[in-house]
Structure 1
């Protein structure tokens, strides 16, 4: 049962990451901001390999920030 839950969470995180990448690509923001967001997504992707629940929480926070218009500073 635990493995089934882990697989479901993995599928959910993978789908959310895909959507987040598409959202970042579509944003009308300076290139530095886009790069910062892309780096955050790459870090979350890497974290998912080692700590899936933490990666899911980090992704949820990032998506909430995007929805609320809070972006990291660019280079």
Structure 2
């Protein structure tokens, strides 16, 4: 049973990561901001390999920031 819920969480996180990448790619923001957001997504993707629940929380925060128009500083 635990394994089934873990697989479902992987599926949900993977789908949401795809959605987040699409949103970041289509944002009308300076390239530096887009790169910073892409780096955040890559960190979340890497975290998912080791701590899926933490990656899901990070992704939730990132998506909320995107929804509210809060973007990181670009380089």
Query: TM-score under structure 2 normalisation?
Result: 1.00
- Unpaired runs of 5+ residues, structure 2, are none
Cα offset for 1:50?
A: 0.1
The Cα of 1:12 is off from its aligned counterpart by: 0.2
Residues in 2 aligned to 1:58 and 1:14: alpha-carbon distance in whole angstroms:
13
Aligned length: 75
Q: Tell me what 1:73 maps to.
A: 73
Residue number in structure 2 paired with 1:5 = 5
CA distance in structure 2 between the partners assigned to 1:11 and 1:26 by the alignment: 23
Give the 4+ runs in structure 1 shifted more than 6 A: none
1:4-51, Cα deviation, whole Å (9 max, x unpaired): 000000000000000000000000000000000000000000000000
CA distance in 1, matches of 2:32, 2:41: 14
Mapped to 1, the partners of 2:34 and 2:45 lie a distance apart of: 16
Indicate the residue corresponding to 1:28 in structure 2. Answer: 28
User: What's the counterpart of residue 41 of structure 2?
Assistant: 41
Whether 1:16 aligns to 2:11 is no
| Residue ranges of structure 1 left out of the alignment (5+ in a row) | none
**Cα deviation, residue 57, structure 1:** 0.2
